[in-house]
Chain A
C-alpha cells in the first residue's frame, strides 16, 4: 500500500535521512522505532510532503507521491496524525473532524450531511469525542487531543494513516488507552505506519517493524525477531 524507496531528506543544508526504504502492506500495522534524532519523524514528514524529499520515491497504492505538496498527498489518500497532535485549538471537536474529511466533502454547503455516516463511526470508536463535540479542541486534555488527532485522520477514509508518537507527553494510563485504540484500528483492518518512542508497546501491536539509526533503517523484521535482537534494545538503553 505504501512503499518508500531510498528516501533522502533533510532541513536546509543538513541531510537527516540517508536512504530510507520501507514497505507497508494493506491492513498491516508497521512500527518505526529508534532513538531520538534517528530520523523517524523526519521520515514521516518526508512521506506526507511536509518536507520535500531530496531524492527517493514514495509510492502510495502504486502512485508516485514524492515531491507533491502535503495538501495534494493528503488528497490522494494519505492521512498523517503528526507529532504533537496539532489539533485546531480554537475550533470545535466536530469541526476538527469535519476538516479531517476536507478533501472529500463539498466545500460550501451540505458537507455536514455527507460526513454524517463517517462521523457516527468515529464517535462510536471514540465516545469521549461525542460528549465533547461542541467544545474547543484546545481545551481538551492531552489524551483526548491525541484521540481527536487519530479520529481526524480516520475521517479522511485514507488508504494509509501515519501515526507519529501518539504517546508523547501523555500519562502512562493514557498511553495504555492509546495503544488499545491502535489495536482496535488494527482489528478494523486499517493500514497504519506507527512511529513510537515506546518500542516495546509498539512491537506488541505491530505486524512488522523497522528500527532506525542515524537516518537509515538499521534492522527490520517481525516483532518476534526484533525482540531477540540485542541491537534493538541497544538503540534505547545503550
Chain B
C-alpha cells in the first residue's frame, strides 16, 4: 500500500468534500431561520449550473457569469421559499418537505427538456494541468474549488456578523418571537435565508461543474452526501460541516479506490444513519430540551 496514493486520494476526496460542505452550509442557513430545508436543493445546484453554462455560451465572460449565476440561484431560492415553504410554516406543518421535493422534481423535468439529458462540459479559464506538491498531484481547478468554497462561506459569515441585517438573521434563529418584537420581520428574514441558500447552491454548481460536467443528474449523488454532511455535523452547527465534509470526501475516495467505485456513495449514507442512531442532533449539534 502506497502512502502517496492514499495521500492523493485523501486530498482530492477532501476537495470534493468541501463542495458537500458548501451545500450542507446552505441547508444550515435556512434551518437556522425556519427549521426547514429545501429537499430540492440539488436541483438548484443543477439549474444554476445550466444557467451559468448558458450565460457562457451566449458570450458572457467567465467573471461576469459568476455573479449572474449566483443571482439566478438566489432567485430560485426565493421562489422555493414562496411556493413551497411559506404556507407550510404558517400552518406549522411539515408540508414543506413534500413541497420542496415536488418543486425539485419540476426543476429536474424542466432542465431535462430545456437543456437535454446529456452531460455537457463546462468551460473554465482555470487550468487543470496538475501541479506536484509533496508528491501529490493537484490542479489549479481543484484549488479554485477550495478557494471558492471558503470565499463564499466567508462572505456570508462576514455579512452575518458585521451588518445589522446579518445580526437580525442570527436574532431570528435565536428567538423568532423576540426578533419580531424588535421590528425584524421573520418572514423577510426567512426569505433572505432562502435567497442566500440558493446563492450558495449556485456557487457549488459553478465550482463543481468544470470537474463533473453539467447534466440533469449531476447533483443527485452530490445532494445525498450534502444531506449526510448536514445531518452528521448537525443542522445548527456552523463550521462543523467543513470538517465533516472533508472527512466524508476523503473517506469516499478511499472507499471507491479500495472497495470499488460503485460503493462510493455508501460511507456517507452509513454515516448518516449511524449519526442519527448515536447523536440525533449531529456530532456538533446542540441537544434540545422538551417543553410542554
Binding site for B on A (CB under 8 A): 48-50, 69-72, 74-75, 79-80, 82, 86-91, 95, 98-100, 102-103, 105-109, 111, 152, 156
Instruction: Give the CA-CA distance A100 to B184 in the complex, in Å.
Output: 9
Q: Tell me, rounded to whole Å, the shortest Cβ–Cβ distance linking B196 to chain A.
A: 14
Q: Are A98 and B167 also in contact (CB < 8 A) when A71-B185, A91-B174 are? A: yes
Instruction: Give the CA-CA distance A163 to B25 in the complex, in Å.
Output: 38
Binding site for A on B (CB under 8 A): 163-165, 167-168, 170-171, 174-175, 177-186
Instruction: Check if A91 sits within 8 Å of B170, measured CB to CB.
Output: yes
Instruction: Check if B184 sits within 8 Å of A102, measured CB to CB.
Output: yes
Instruction: Check if A82 sits within 8 Å of B181, measured CB to CB.
Output: yes
Using CB atoms, name the residue of chain B closest to A104. B183
Contacts of B183 in A (CB 8 A): 71-72, 74-75, 102-103, 156
Partner of B174, one of A74, A90, A100, A107: A90
Q: Are A156 and B178 also in contact (CB < 8 A) when A99-B171, A108-B164 are? A: no
Contacts of A49 in B (CB 8 A): 180
Instruction: Check if B164 sits within 8 Å of A88, measured CB to CB.
Output: no
Q: Tell me, rounded to whole Å, the shortest Cβ–Cβ distance linking B12 to chain A.
A: 36
Q: Are A86 and B167 also in contact (CB < 8 A) when A74-B182, A99-B184, A102-B182 are? A: no
Instruction: Give the CA-CA distance A50 to B176 in the complex, in Å.
Output: 11
Contacts of B164 in A (CB 8 A): 98-99, 102, 105-108, 111
Contacts of B178 in A (CB 8 A): 82, 86-88
Besides A88-B175, A102-B184, 19 other CB < 8 A contacts?
A50-B181, A70-B181, A71-B183, A71-B184, A80-B181, A82-B177, A82-B178, A88-B171, A88-B174, A88-B179, A91-B170, A99-B184, A100-B182, A103-B183, A107-B163, A107-B165, A107-B168, A108-B165, A111-B164
Instruction: Give the CA-CA distance A95 to B186 in the complex, in Å.
Output: 18
Instruction: Check if B180 sits within 8 Å of A69, measured CB to CB.
Output: yes
Instruction: Give the CA-CA distance A106 to B168 in the complex, in Å.
Output: 12
Q: Tell me, rounded to whole Å, the shortest Cβ–Cβ distance linking B250 to chain A.
A: 31
Instruction: Give the CA-CA distance A79 to B180 in the complex, in Å.
Output: 10
Contacts of A72 in B (CB 8 A): 183, 185
Instruction: Give the CA-CA distance A69 to B182 in the complex, in Å.
Output: 12
Q: Tell me, rounded to whole Å, the shortest Cβ–Cβ distance linking B90 to chain A.
A: 12
Q: Are A74 and B181 also in contact (CB < 8 A) when A89-B174, A91-B171, A99-B168 are? A: yes
What are some 13 contacts across the A-B interface (CB < 8 A)? A69-B180, A71-B186, A74-B180, A79-B181, A82-B178, A87-B178, A88-B175, A90-B174, A91-B167, A91-B171, A99-B167, A105-B164, A111-B164
